[in-house]
Structures are given as structure tokens and as C-alpha cells.
Chain A
Amino acid sequence: MSSIFLPTTHRRAALRGFWIVISLVIGLIIAVAIWGFNGPQPVGAGVLTAALLTSTVFAKEDFVWLLYEGWNRFLVQPFAGISRRLVTSLCYFIIFAAVGRAGAHFRKGGSRQGGSIWMKHDLQVPNALPAPATSDHRTSGQFQWIRYYLSWAGTSGNGWAITLLPFLLILRACSRPEAEQTIFDIYTLF
């Protein structure tokens, strides 16, 4: 599934695609509402509504552009912001309020060489996370990070962290995608 955000673009095809979907949704709602109230010709009314709304994207393109930009700015962005805060709070609840009750396990008695429990960083250590540079999602797939995360949770003795995965997926869905590299960016000759 693509992002919940509509792409930031000036392409008419994106505008028309969005508006046709909205027109169909509104047409469907009208049809269901009329059918729910036992009104006449719910399907016809729904189709007519959808057709009339669709025509506005050709007749009043500037107005529909305002709605397109408003969709991200006034609906998706605030929803994503509130959702991120809520889900992050739920993650903290799981981590600190729930799992935190189990306490932490510290090695007592210090290291082999005088007092400090710091360890030299060693990628061979099972608890170590894989280096970020290896998880380039452009070359290795959008959901490669899930594999790394599960692998880390299993090998580091943090199996409980798997319960956070659904929330991490929700947080990812609420984030704005990286700016698209469109073809016109390549043309730099005038």
C-alpha cells in the first residue's frame, strides 16, 4: 500500500485520479444513504452524483487543485501527527510501564580489567545491531527493515520487542514519503 499522503505534484493525472476516487466514494455514500432511507433509485442517484462531481475536475480545475492540496494539509497531515503521538505513547507504555516492570539485567562485578562494564564495540557480538548502511531500502526492498528488526529481537534476547512491530508499522504509515525524484528533475538544460 502506498503512503496515505497524496503525492506533491502538479500533474493533472494525479489530480484527476484523486478526484475520480473521491467522486466515486461520495456517490457510493449517497447511494447507500438513499437505500438506507428507502429512497428511490439509490444506484442512479449515486452514479449521477459521482458523474457530476467528476465533471468539476475538468470544469473547475483550479478549485479542485485547492481541494487536492487541502486534503494533505488539513486532513492527512493533522491525522498523521495525532496518530504518531498516540502510537508513540502506546509504545512507551509497552516499553516502560509494562516491560519496564521486569527490570534490567546488569552484570555485577565489573569487567575483567578493573571496574568498568563498558565493552569494546564488536560487530561479532550477538547483541549488536546491523550497521545502518546495510539497510538501504531502495536497493533491498521497502520492508527489509522488518527482517533486520526481527533478527535483532531474536538474537539479542529481546523477543518482547516483536510486540512493538505493529506500532512501528503504523508509525511508518503515518510518515510522509521521501520526495519523489521526478523525471523533470533530470532536465537541467534550458
Chain B
Amino acid sequence: MRLLRIFLALPAAIIALLLALPVVAGLLILGVIATLANILSRLIEPRFVTWQELIEFHPMVGWISKPNLNTRALVDDLFHFTTDADGWRGKTNLTDSEIVVFGDSHAFGYGIDEKYFFANLDRRVEVKSLGVISYNMVQEVLWMRELSQHLKNKMVVWLVFLGNDLGDNLEPAQYHYRSPFLRESKGMQPWEIVTTHLDPKPWPFVFRRYKETNYDRLTKIYSPTFVSDRAFAAAEYLITEAFDICNRAAARLTVLTIPDPMILSQAGLNTLYANGADSKTFDPNLPDKKIRSICEKLNLPFVSGAGHFGIQDYKQYDSHWNKAGHKRMADLLSDLYEKHQRTCRPATIEAVLNDNPKLLARI
């Protein structure tokens, strides 16, 4: 029986192989092209670094971008960027800047080449971006405190990414990197910033972040939940702190929210609904409403990014801006600066002269 089957199978297989020859020829041609393309792409692609190689420990804020970088990293494609001696990105230095932008990787320009980075685009206004990958608002407030003497008479724009910043403010680590966070305080202030755990050693309790946990995080912030109540209360404390710092520094603060691209399209919303968000309680405008309300209490300028950025301004497979998004951000900063110039109280002649000793010397 076994031998009979082999005797029947062999000639049938030979006939079948002959009939399959065109398929084999086609596979060879397509396979060779794909293989050669793959080999060539590996040969011509420049070396790049992972995001973990871009940051180093900092005792005040947990981590900072490495200084004097001139390298590439990978998002959907390689992007080239540089950092200055302090680890900040952008051609302008802090002293010469007219606008200072605080924020996370959106402010850092993660995913975009140097020449398309929003801080480098509009040379009519000098923009210094003080953004670092994965920062929360607590870290940004700490930098505002630290650099407050450099913010005098400048316009400060605070980018708040609504995808994760609000929740991250309450977490002691981002992946295994220890970060400053807020916790409820028993003292006079409702909240306190905690930095005592900052250490180069990895945080031992790491929650793996993947798509579905991100959906859950968005759902909890964009719906009226205990998590969002706590997150907005923490954000109010931080925005008030930032407002005080900028007021003391004679800087004008504007809060600009950046929407998560998931809420900018029906397809993104449907994905969230399919992963647990309740369409009855999920509100794509909830964080903006809450933060606007906080800013109004302080008479603080607020700009909702959802009114300026669309899904076309983001990368296809990532939550960072593409070239169009950075152009839009640059234009938005220019518009805000013009408004800022019009609404600023005119300086007294004495104040102008005190700030410009060279001008005083010429009179």
C-alpha cells in the first residue's frame, strides 16, 4: 500500500511541478528583486539610535536629552536631529529667544528632521523649545522654576499632550525611568511634587505599555471617572504653579493642548469604543473643557489644539506631528506671538532702558 502510494504520487508530482513552472519562475523573479532591495536598503540606511540612547539621568527631573547630539532615530522613518550643549533642540538659544516652548516629545520634535522642526521653521520669531521625550507636566514645571530667570519678558507656551501627560503626572516612573510626580498632600497645599525617589537605578515596578493599555488610558481621561477627576485636579495645581512662576518672572504663559490623534477621526473613536470606551460618557472635548476652565480662573490664555490640528498633521502610525503638523505649529506660534505683542501692556520708558543698557548708553 505504501509503495503503491509512492508510485502513484511520484509521476503526479512531476506533472504538477511542470505545471507549476511559471509560478516558480515568477517567484524567483519577485523573490530576487525583494531580496536585493532588502539587502541594498540595509546597506544604504544610516546608523540610528534607539530613544533610550537619547536621554541620560538628571537628579532634578529624572532625565534629560543628552547634550551635543547629532544623530538619527527611528519613528516610522529615520529622522535627523541635533541638541545643544544643554541637551535642548533647536537653532536658537534660550537667551535670544522670544518664545519659549515647554513640553514633552512633541515639543522636542520627535520624529521630524531638523529642517522641518517647528522651532526652526519661522525665523521671524526666535523660538526655543525646551522639550524632552516622555516628560510629564511636573518635570516641565520644575524646569520653569529652574530657568525662570531666563524667561523674563518672553512668551512661554506650554504644550500639554492630552494623550498621556495628564495621567503621567501621577505616576512615579515612565517605563523604568523614575520621574517626578504629584501626590495628594496632607499639608497646606493639596498636592506636592515628589522627587525623593529619583535615582539612576531602574524603577522596579514596570507596567508594559502597549496599544490596548493606551486605549484604556485615553478612555479614563476622556470620560468623567475617578482617574480623570484626579488628573484634572493635579493639572490645576501644576498650571497654577506655572502661572505663578511665569508671573514672578514677568513672562506671559499660554497653555496649548495637543489632542491625541485617536480622537481626531471617527476611525480612532470607533477603535476606542471597541476597546471599552462608552460612547455615552466618552467626551473628546472633556480635557479641553477642564483645562480651559482652569485657565479661565487664572485669566490665563488657553488654546485648544483640537481647533488647529487635524489627523492629517500627525504621522500615520505614530502620535507625533508630521511635516504639516510642525508647519502648523510654527504658524500657530507666530499668530500667538503677534497677539501677545498686541495685548502686552506697553512697557514704561524706564523699564525699556533698564533692560537695554546699550540703548541707555547711547542716549
Contacts and interface: CB of A to CB of B under 8 A. Distances in A.
Given A184-B74, A189-B133, A13 B41 contact: yes
A94 to B, nearest CB: 5
A28 interface: no
A22 B33 contact: yes
A6 B27 contact: no
B161 A94 contact: no
Contacts of B4: 102
A13 B45 contact: yes
Nearest to A174: B27
A93 B12 CA distance: 8
B20 A90 contact: yes
A6 B8 contact: no
Given A97-B12, A160-B8, A183-B50, A190 B74 contact: no
A10 B5 contact: no
- Candidate in A9, A94, A187 with the most chain B CB atoms within 10 angstroms: A187
B205 to A, nearest CB: 16
Contacts of B318: 184
Interface stretch (B75-83, B232-240, B282-290, B353-361): B75-83
A1 B31 contact: yes
B82 to A, nearest CB: 19
A79 B26 contact: yes
Contacts of B339: none
Nearest to A75: B30
A11 interface: yes
Interface in B309-336: 316-320
Interface stretch (A32-40, A43-51, A127-135, A162-170): A162-170
B contacts with A: majority SS: helix
Given A10-B76, A187-B51, A5 B34 contact: yes
Contact of B8 (A2, A20, A101, A105): A101
B8 A11 contact: no
Contacts of A90: 16, 19-20
Nearest to B32: A1
A1 to B, nearest CB: 5
A12 B78 contact: yes
Interface string B284-309: 00000000000000000000000000
A76 to B, nearest CB: 6
Contacts, number: 164
A159 B2 contact: yes
A146 interface: no
B85 interface: no
Contact of B23 (A87, A157, A183): A87
A67 interface: no
B151 to A, nearest CB: 24
B210 A188 contact: yes
A2 B34 contact: yes
A188 B214 contact: yes
Given A7-B38, A183-B50, A94 B210 contact: no
A86 interface: yes
B12 A184 contact: no
A190 B16 contact: no
Given A7-B38, A21-B40, A163 B12 contact: yes
Contacts of A126: none
A52 interface: no
Nearest to B133: A189
B196 to A, nearest CB: 22
A10 B174 contact: no
B33 A11 contact: no
Given A190-B104, A190-B161, A6 B37 contact: yes
Nearest to B11: A98
A189 B110 CA distance: 11
Contacts of A186: 50
A173 B28 CA distance: 10
Contact of A2 (B35, B74, B316): B35
A17 B8 contact: no
A173 B20 contact: no
A117 interface: no
A182 interface: yes
Contacts of A98: 8-9, 11-12
A21 B37 contact: yes
A72 to B, nearest CB: 10
Contact of B34 (A3, A9, A157, A183): A3
A35 B121 CA distance: 52
Interface of B: 1-2, 4-6, 8-13, 16-17, 19-20, 23-24, 26-27, 30-45, 50-51, 74-78, 104-106, 133-134, 161, 163-165, 174-175, 209-210, 214, 316-320
Given A21-B37, A90-B16, 10 more contacts: A3-B34, A6-B34, A13-B45, A17-B44, A21-B33, A86-B20, A160-B6, A163-B13, A182-B74, A190-B164
6 contacts: A18-B33, A79-B26, A94-B9, A94-B16, A160-B6, A189-B164
CB-CB nearest 7 A-B residue pairs:
A17-B41, A13-B45, A98-B12, A189-B134, A163-B13, A17-B40, A188-B209
